[in-house]
Structure 1
Amino acid sequence: MITPRTAKQCGKADYGWLQARYTFSFGHYFDPKLLGYASLRVLNQEVLAPGASFQPRTYPKVDILNLILEGEAEYRDSEGNHVQAKAGEALLLSTQPGLSYSEHNLSKEQSLTRMQLWLDACPERENPLVQKLTLSDGPQQLLASPDGRNDSLQLRQQVWIHQIELEKGQQLSFQLHGPRAYLQSIHGTVHAVTATEEKEGLTCGDGAFIRDEANITLVADTPLRALLIDLPV
């Protein structure tokens, strides 16, 4: 079963220094029916104005994946560690209890645009505090996984995150690990085909809940960039 979650249905914020779209409850946006999906707690697309910053804050034990679409960011923690990531890179923060983290747009002229995901972390697992990955140009790249296979970022959870880049008319098939997944269009239009249905296309910013499908085929109706988040747990 595939259930769309269009960009128009998502929560939104415009603070001047920050423009955001929230798939799930976040900040001022609250929907008791949308507190996350399986271990996916947050899926935001946010634009920080030139020179803008998120001030230090603490987090629950989550893995935070930042996919930088435009600009360059610096992430700092309260122990003095800092790391930078720019467009074409993904950065994974394994948050720790008692530490605070901040985010800064390094440019005074250019906005910073990124996708951010929070994933619940298994309490008994510890990974490197920071991991970084260069995004490839291929049709499919495994961005993150539980075991770091194929040079992916290593998560503290049973989740597989794929970046998909297809030309119009191209398609990709996936065998999912379990009963749940989430599809997010970053730009372009895509439709999904399963053994039982074919859904109309999702366009830029739209997402879809995928339930109880062992296999799914994604067909690009236009040039496409998207995320497929495989969430068996």
Structure 2
Amino acid sequence: MITPRTARQCGKADYGWLQARYTFSFGHYFDPELLGYAALRVLNQEVLAPGASFQPRTYPKVDILNVILEGEAEYRDSEGHHIQAQAGEALLLSTQPGLSYSEHNLSKENALTRIQLWLDACPERENPPLQKITLAALPQQLLASPDGSKESLQLRQQVWIHQIKLEEGQQLSLPLHGPRAYLQSIHGTVHALTSAKEKEALTCGDGAFIRDEANITLLADTPLRALLIDLPL
């Protein structure tokens, strides 16, 4: 089953220095029916103005995945770890209770555009505080996984995150590990097809809940970039 969550339905914010679209409840946007989806707690698409920053703040024990679409950012924690990431890279922060984390747009002229995901972390799992990979120009790339397979970022949760990049008319089928997944279009239009021949069209910024499917087939109507988040638990 596929249930769309269109960009128009999402929560929105415009603070001048920050423009954001929230898939789930976040900040001032609250919907008791949308507090997350399995281990996925946050899926935000955000634009930080030139020179803007998120000042140091603490988080629950979550893995924070940032996919940088445009610009360059720096991330720091209160233990002195720091790393920079730019367009074409993905960064994973393995947050710890009691530590604070900041994010800075390094450019004084250009905006920073990124997608951010928060995933619940298993309490007994510990990973490096900062991880980074380069995004590949492939139809499918495993960005993050529980064991870091295929040179992916290593999560503290049973979740698999794929980047999808398809040309117009190209088709891709992916198996899923369990009964739940979430599909997020970054740009482009796609038809998502299920084994029951259910068909749902998504366009730029749209998402979709996927339930009780062993695999999903994506057919790009235009050049497509998307994330597929496989959430079996």
Bin of the TM-score, shorter chain as denominator length: over 0.9
C-alpha contact (below 8 Å) 1:161/1:230 kept by paired residues: yes
Q: Residue 97 of structure 2 corresponds to which residue in structure 1? A: 97
Matches within 5 A, 1:79-228: 79-228=79-228
Q: Residue 30 of structure 1 corresponds to which residue in structure 2? A: 30
Give the drift of 1:80: 1.8
TM-score by length of structure 1 reads 0.99
Give 3-state SS (helix, strand or coil) of 2:34's partner: coil
Give 3-state SS (helix, strand or coil) of 2:202's partner: coil
* Count of matched residue positions in the alignment of Structure 1 and Structure 2: 233
C-alpha contact (below 8 Å) 2:4/2:200 kept by paired residues: no
User: Which 5+ residue runs of structure 1 have no aligned equivalent?
Assistant: none
Give the drift of 1:198: 3.0
The one-letter code of the counterpart of 1:9 is: Q
The one-letter code of the counterpart of 2:34 is: L
How far apart, CA to CA, are the structure 1 residues paired with 2:131 and 2:106?
Answer: 19
C-alpha contact (below 8 Å) 2:181/2:229 kept by paired residues: yes
Taking only aligned residues, the RMSD between alpha carbons, in angstroms, comes to 0.6
How far apart, CA to CA, are the structure 2 residues paired with 1:220 and 1:64?
Answer: 28
Give the drift of 1:18: 0.2
Map Cα deviations across residues 53-75 of structure 1 (whole Å, 9 max, x no partner).
00111000000000000000000
Shifted more, 24-33 versus 189-198: the winner is 189-198
Give 3-state SS (helix, strand or coil) of 2:29's partner: coil
TM-score by length of structure 2 reads 0.99
User: Which 5+ residue runs of structure 2 have no aligned equivalent?
Assistant: none
Give 3-state SS (helix, strand or coil) of 2:37's partner: coil
How far apart, CA to CA, are the structure 1 residues paired with 2:201 and 2:113?
Answer: 24
Give 3-state SS (helix, strand or coil) of 2:200's partner: coil
How far apart, CA to CA, are the structure 2 residues paired with 1:127 and 1:11?
Answer: 32
C-alpha contact (below 8 Å) 2:72/2:105 kept by paired residues: yes
How far apart, CA to CA, are the structure 1 residues paired with 2:82 and 2:145?
Answer: 24
Give 3-state SS (helix, strand or coil) of 1:200's partner: strand
How far apart, CA to CA, are the structure 2 residues paired with 1:96 and 1:183?
Answer: 28
Give the drift of 1:21: 0.2
